[in-house]
Amino acid sequence: MKQIDFLEKRRQFIELAKKRATGTPKELATKFNIQERVLYRLLESLRTDGLEFRYCRTIRSYYIDE
């Protein structure tokens, strides 16, 4: 994945997580047109940069509390 694509997907994830609209990891990977393992690397990079987010099984979405 190109650096620009990677940064754009990070931005999109943050927007979706704020709305609690990411879907499951599998659904999110499909939305982003990437493999699940690439998605988990993207999420790990966000955590490494200090973003705090969680996954809720009830709403089936990642979320960020602001």
| 44-65 per-position pLDDT tens digit | 999 999 999 999 999 999 999 8
Q: pTM of the prediction? A: 0.90
Domain 3-63 falls in which CATH fold?
Arc Repressor Mutant, subunit A (1.10.10)
Distance of alpha carbon 66 from alpha carbon 26, whole angstroms: 25
Evaluate whether 17 touches 63 at the Cβ level (below 8 Å). yes
Amino acid in the structure at residue 57: R
Tokens coding 54: 């969680």
- The reported pLDDT for the residue numbered 45 is 96
Indicate the domain borders of the chain: 3-63
